Amino acid sequence: MFEQDILNKANSYMETFHYDDVSGHDIAHVNRVTKLAEYIASNEQKGHLLTIQLASILHDTIDEKIAKPKEAKARLINFFAELNLSQTLQESILHIIENMSYKNGANNNTKLSIEGQIVRDADRLDAMGAIGIARTFQFAGHFGEPMWVENQDHNIMQETNQNYNDWPPSAIKHFFEKLLKLKTLMHTKTAKNLAQQRHDYMQDFVQTFFKEWYFKY
Ligand code: ADP
Ligand code: NI
């Protein structure tokens, strides 16, 4: 099968999987991740492009937050067989998509291929910046979390060093437990540069959010 046909089929598979998602894992997220990953690969001049593209397109199709992972993985392996992908390519894609996610930092030490590092950088970049902010509030709304829960520890001037473990779940908590840490977790130089801008924007956002929430007169 030609590469373009493989990519088209993978895109259709992905679109069927994500078509009605409103939890921050919609088709547009996957398309942005794919574009970012292609950009990083081209800028770094690294990685096998088809592996990067397929891993990007399929990266959330076995995510436990939106699918039953065992069934989803079996379906994906059947799909690989339909595409006649080589065993090596199948294995490298599966290794990437099973190990790239954040999982509270638990996957950070899993060694990923350069292709995996690029796709992980791209996925993490899409959790940052203006899009990252929007996805976080969409996720929180979808899963019934509030925007923010006031607590006594909170000091708006020192928001990066909070002991957030004791905070009840909220969209704003997610910035401390994950989003504001992502810039230090990028693998490639290209992603590090993009992450810095997106980080600064989120930091501004959180500060402004608190200024407005704790409005003083
Ligand atoms: P992906 O695997 O595509 O990186 P995740 O499944 O981790 O995405 O989350 C999807 C989106 O929702 C991301 O933007 C993420 O930061 C956000 N998100 C994840 N967990 C939470 C949470 N507990 N509260 C608010 N937003 C969250
Ligand atoms: Ni994703």
- What pLDDT was estimated at residue 127? 98
% of the chain beyond a pLDDT of 70: 92
> Which is nearest to 174 in space by CA: 116, 133, 215?
133
- What pLDDT was estimated at residue 155? 58
Residue in 102, 123, 135, 172 to alter for ligand 1 test, most ligand atoms within 8 A of Cβ: 135
**Interval between CA 194 and ligand 2 midpoint (Å):** 17
Residue in 64, 138, 139 to alter for ligand 1 test, most ligand atoms within 8 A of Cβ: 139
- What pLDDT was estimated at residue 161? 58
- What pLDDT was estimated at residue 35? 98
Ligand 1 binding pocket includes 103 (Cβ within 6 Å): no
Poorest-confidence range of 25-34, 65-74, 185-194? 65-74
- What pLDDT was estimated at residue 48? 97
Q: Determine if the pTM surpasses 0.95.
A: no
Cβ neighbors of 164 (< 8 A, separation 6 or more) are 173, 176, 177
**Which atom of ligand 1 is nearest to 173's Cα?**
24
Ligand 1 binding pocket includes 120 (Cβ within 6 Å): no
Residue 108: pLDDT band (50, 70, 90) is low
**Interval between CA 25 and ligand 2 midpoint (Å):** 6
The string of pLDDT tens digits covering residues 4-59 is 999 999 999 999 999 988 888 899 999 999 999 999 999 999 999 999 999 999 99
**Which atom of ligand 1 is nearest to 123's Cα?**
4
Structure tokens at 113: 């291929």
Q: Is the pLDDT of residue 130 over 90?
A: yes
Ligand 1 binding pocket includes 61 (Cβ within 6 Å): no
**Interval between CA 144 and ligand 1 midpoint (Å):** 13
Report the 10 Å Cβ neighbour count for 197: 13
Question: Domains along the chain?
Answer: 1-103 (1.10.472.50), 127-217 (1.20.58.1910)
Ligand 1 binding pocket includes 101 (Cβ within 6 Å): yes
CA-based end-to-end distance of the chain: 67
- What pLDDT was estimated at residue 64? 79
